[in-house]
Structure formats: structure tokens, C-alpha cells
């Protein structure tokens, strides 16, 4: 027998919980389906030393701002899980854990939801599963010798889980750079394939850069006003770290300390003496270009802050100019896995979205849903929450989820009131209180 609810939320992470809080505030009966357990991704898909790259004061879930004693610090993995669990305990959301939504369809004015616990219908549905669903590993991984242990960044936990020997890290987004640092600090020989991700300063002219950008209104900038609005949703995040109180990640400094930097991985091939096994790595000749680009982005952020300081007459200390501490010099474009003693590879190559369970024609050619600030024009009553740059930079983060959830909740409320003009018999608002 189908069960009907005014609103069903798919996903019980920070986005789904935020939506539940806002719906409960407005007295709208709803149900939240969580495939695993609250905080699952933070528990299971992050390495042991993982921490936020934005300060704790930016953790502003609706009705539950960070209240700890280290607002300028950076929560580590276990503290993030505790923050999410405490949030759920604070308002008792109607979450059903361990239930997977397998199909979502639109049938007339209602939505049909098929789950591992039965079938449901709803007037409105919020998809709050984020945008990172399936690890993305390039096909080139299949060409590596079977003796090489391969992990995606979501599977990496600590250096001790890897076999003895050197480690190849592919990708220099936030995960790649931080995992490379984790291994480097543990004394492992790291080979890092440097891609085109930008980097960010950590502190500049007396403040954390996040604080400057917050003051400047950067985090309030809607995506349609962003100078790179056509591409920003799909661009790699700037690499920086909150580890040990927060610092920049300088790949050039790592190179001085013994980390081996390479350009992007091009192909895997065999040696003439061992044609039966692929042992050679080939790299693109773009290491200097990628390092220079990352530095240019960091310097452009500084210049933007300089302009803001000057325009507003702010008294701020002046930092010394940036100077590269290391430059590539005839770095080899091939590497013998055996000679380099590389025994493991970590693919820090991101994720793919997977909305195949949504059987409604609302997606573009890349599988991204068509929406306007989370509202889907092509399927009235359907919403998305928690996607990167759904509306602003903070949309997929603790800092901006509240604004998006409140906005959607008001839209949901207006449609909900319309259905209440003549309340149907299936409603059981009392089951969840106000």
C-alpha cells in the first residue's frame, strides 16, 4: 500500500537535514530518506586527517550555527560528524535511515517514489543528495600492472593502509594535494601528477583569506552574476588546507623537500625489455604551466583583496611579494614504475553525478538537472538542494546551505498551502508535530 506525504526529501546529509529543519519550522509534514546513516559520507569517504578548508565560523546550518570554542579553527573529520549528529538531535527530523530511493517518477500532479522499504507518493520532492555520487577513475587505470594497488581518494584513509614503497597521486584538486601532503608528512616518497586546479592563499594581510572574501561579499555572489558562470559549477576547487590550524599548500615547497612533481598523466606503456607488462608512465609536458597557473590565481585573489583594502581605506599589514621557491628543470616525461618503486596509485580525479534513479526528463547532456535556484521548471514540485553553486559558492557547503533551504522552503510552503485549501484524507500532519 502506498503512503503519501506532502513532501519527501531524498538524502539525510547536511542538505537534507537543513531542508527538514526549514519544513518543520513551517509545520509541513514530510519524510526524509537516507540511504545509509546520517553523516555517512563524512565518516566513510574521508581520510583520517581530513579537515575543513573553511573556518568553523562558516558552519551555519539553519538554526544551528557553530557554537564551539574555536571559530577560526577547522573541524576535523570526527568533529564534522559530531556537528551533523548534534544538529539532527537538536530538532528530531523524521529521517528513515538505511532506505534507498530506487526510482522517482512524475505521475500527474504527484510524484511516485519507489524505495527499499516500499512505495510512496508525494506532492513535492526535494533531492538533497549532493552532486558527488560515483568515484571518477580514468580508463587509463586499467592499463596499470595488477601488482599496483589502486585506490580512489574516497577509499584512502592513511599512509599505513598502503604497501611499502612510493605512491603516485594523480590530481591536484583539494583531495589530491591534501592526500599528497598527508603521505609526504608521513615520510612516504610521493610522485604527484599536477593538473590545472587553482590554489588559494591561506592568510593574507593579517586575515584568513576566507574572512576577506566574506567581507567583500564573494560568498553572496549568485552564480548568474559570476564572471565564469558558464563553467564555475564544473571547475576544480582551489587547493588549500585547514590542517594544523590552516596553511597554504605550496607544491613547489614540497618539491624542495623531495616530492616528485610531474605533469598530467598521459598514458601507460610497456618497456621494450618487458613488452608483456605496462611499466612506463608518460606525462604531458605541462608541469610548469600548471604550477604557474595555480600561482597566478592565488596572486589574483591577493590583488582583489588589495583593491578592496585600498578602496575602503582599511589599515592592514603588507605581505612580502610572492616568489617561487622552486622551478621545474628538464623534468623527465617518463617514469619507470619498477625503478621508482611505485607500489600504489591514488586517483584524486573527482566524482560523477548519478541521478539515473530520477526518471523525469529534466537533465542536460552531462546529467545536470535544469533548475532555477533549485526549482525545476520542467517538473513542478521538484527541487534540488546542496549542489555545488546551486545559487552561490556556499550552496554545497555548510556556509550557504541555510539560504538555499529557506528559499526552497518558502516556495514549497506556497504550493503546500494551495493543497490545504481542501485537505485530503491521506494527510497525517500530527505524526510529525510542528
Claim to verify: residue 420 and residue 317 sit in the same structural domain = no
Q: Which residues contact 95 (CB under 8 A, 6 or more apart)?
A: 12, 16, 17, 20, 32, 33, 34, 38, 88
Whole-number pLDDT of residue 416: 86
Claim to verify: residue 252 and residue 388 sit in the same structural domain = no
Claim to verify: residue 223 and residue 320 sit in the same structural domain = yes
Cell of 129: 543528495
Q: Which of 32, 151, 136 has the alpha carbon at shortest distance from 93?
A: 32
Claim to verify: residue 357 and residue 304 sit in the same structural domain = no
The reply to whether the predicted model has a pTM over 0.75 is yes
Instruction: Tell me which residue range forms the domain holding 166.
Output: 134-347
Claim to verify: residue 287 and residue 309 sit in the same structural domain = yes
Claim to verify: residue 182 and residue 305 sit in the same structural domain = yes
| Residue 226 pLDDT greater than 90, yes or no | no
Claim to verify: residue 188 and residue 205 sit in the same structural domain = yes
Whole-number pLDDT of residue 17: 98
Cell of 233: 559549477
Q: Which of 258, 284, 256 has the alpha carbon at shortest distance from 170?
A: 284
Domain boundary residue, one of 326, 347, 368: 347
Claim to verify: residue 171 and residue 312 sit in the same structural domain = yes
pLDDT in tens, 280-315: 999 999 999 999 999 999 999 999 999 999 999 999
Q: Which of 14, 107, 27, 95 has the alpha carbon at shortest distance from 61?
A: 14
Claim to verify: residue 310 and residue 232 sit in the same structural domain = yes
Mean pLDDT of the chain, nearest integer: 92
E-state strands within 316-407: 334-336, 342-347, 351-352, 382-384
The total domain count for the chain is 2
* Average pLDDT rounded to a whole number, residues 23-36: 97
| Residue 276 pLDDT greater than 80, yes or no | no
Q: What's the CATH number where 382 sits? A: 3.50.50.60
pLDDT band of 434, cuts 50, 70, 90: very low
Domain boundary residue, one of 324, 347, 370: 347
Claim to verify: residue 237 and residue 338 sit in the same structural domain = yes
SS3 content of the chain, % helix, strand, coil (to 5): 30, 25, 45
Evaluate whether 248 touches 186 at the Cβ level (below 8 Å): no
pLDDT band of 188, cuts 50, 70, 90: very high
Least confident of 191-195, 231-235, 255-259, 392-396: 231-235
Beta bridge partners of 345: 150, 168
- 56 or 396: which leads in pLDDT: 56
| Residue 424 pLDDT greater than 80, yes or no | no
| Residue 230 pLDDT greater than 80, yes or no | no
CA dist., res. 107 & res. 125, Å (int): 13
Q: Sign of dihedral through CA atoms 419, 110, 352, 181?
A: positive
**What three-state secondary structure class fits 176?**
helix
Domain boundary residue, one of 347, 365, 382: 347
DSSP string, 367-385: SPBP-BTTB-TTSTTEEE-
Least confident of 127-136, 171-180, 247-256, 420-429: 420-429
pLDDT band of 252, cuts 50, 70, 90: very high
Claim to verify: residue 126 and residue 184 sit in the same structural domain = no
| Residue 223 pLDDT greater than 90, yes or no | no
Claim to verify: residue 123 and residue 142 sit in the same structural domain = no
Amino acid at each position: 500500500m502506498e503512503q503519501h506525504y506532502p513532501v519527501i526529501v531524498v538524502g539525510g546529509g547536511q542538505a537534507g537535514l537543513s531542508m527538514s529543519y526549514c519544513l518543520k519550522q513551517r509545520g509541513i509534514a514530510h519524510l526524509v530518506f537516507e540511504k545509509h546513516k546520517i553523516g555517512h559520507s563524512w565518516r566513510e569517504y574521508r581520510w583520517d586527517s581530513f579537515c575543513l578548508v573553511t573556518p568553523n565560523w562558516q558552519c551555519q546550518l539553519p538554526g544551528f550555527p557553530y557554537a564551539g570554542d574555536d571559530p577560526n579553527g577547522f573541524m576535523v573529520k570526527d568533529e564534522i560528524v559530531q556537528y551533523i549528529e548534534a544538529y539532527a538531535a537538536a530538532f528530531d527530523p523524521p529521517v528513515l535511515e538505511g532506505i534507498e530511493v530506487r526510482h522517482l517518477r512524475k505521475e500527474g500532479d504527484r510524484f511516485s517514489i519507489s524505495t527499499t522499504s516500499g512505495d510512496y507518493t508525494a506532492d513535492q520532492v526535494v533531492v538533497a543528495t549532493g552532486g558527488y555520487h560515483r568515484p571518477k577513475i580514468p580508463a587509463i587505470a586499467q592499463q596499470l600492472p595488477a601488482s599496483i594497488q589502486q585506490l580512489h581518494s574516497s577509499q584512502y584513509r592513511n599512509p599505513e593502509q598502503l604497501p611499502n614503497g612510493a605512491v603516485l597521486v594523480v590530481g591536484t584538486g583539494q583531495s589530491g594535494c591534501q592526500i599528497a601532503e598527508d603521505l609526504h608528512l608521513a615520510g612516504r616518497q610521493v610522485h604527484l601528477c599536477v593538473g590545472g586546479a587553482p590554489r588559494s592563499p591561506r592568510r593574507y594581510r593579517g586575515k584568513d583569506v576566507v574572512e576577506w572574501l566574506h567581507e567583500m561579499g564573494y560568498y553572496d555572489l549568485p552564480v548568474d552574476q559570476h564572471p565564469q558562470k558558464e563553467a564555475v559549477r564544473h571547475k576544480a576547487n582551489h587547493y588549500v588546507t585547514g590542517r594544523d590550524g590552516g596553511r597554504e599548500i605550496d607544491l613547489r615547497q614540497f618539491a624542495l623537500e623531495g616530492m616528485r612533481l610531474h605533469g598530467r598523466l598521459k598514458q601507460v606503456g610497456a618497456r621494450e625489455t618487458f613488452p608483456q607488462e605496462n611499466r612506463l608512465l608518460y606525462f604531458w609536458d605541462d608541469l610548469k604551466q600548471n604550477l604557474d597557473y595555480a600561482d597566478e590565481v592565488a596572486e589574483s585573489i591577493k590583488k582583489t583583496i588589495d583593491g578592496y583594502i585600498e578602496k575602503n581605506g582599511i589599515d592592514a599589514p603588507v605581505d612580502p611579494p610572492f616568489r617561487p621557491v622552486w622551478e621545474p628543470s628538464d623534468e623527465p616525461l617518463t617514469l619507470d614504475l619498477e625503478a621508482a618503486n611505485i607500489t600504489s596509485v591514488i586517483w584524486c580525479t573527482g566524482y560523477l553525478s548519478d541521478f539515473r534513479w530520477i526518471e523525469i526528463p529534466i537533465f542536460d547532456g552531462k546529467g545536470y538537472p535544469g533548475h532555477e535556484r533549485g526549482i525545476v521548471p520542467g517538473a513542478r514540485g521538484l527541487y534540488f538542494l546542496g549542489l555545488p553553486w546551486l545559487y552561490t559558492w556556499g550552496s554545497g557547503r555548510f556556509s550557504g546551505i541555510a539560504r538555499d533551504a529557506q528559499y526552497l522552503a518558502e516556495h514549497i510552503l506556497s504550493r503546500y498551502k494551495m493543497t490545504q485549501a481542501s485537505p485530503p484524507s491521506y494527510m497525517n500532519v500530527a505524526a510529525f508535530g510542528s
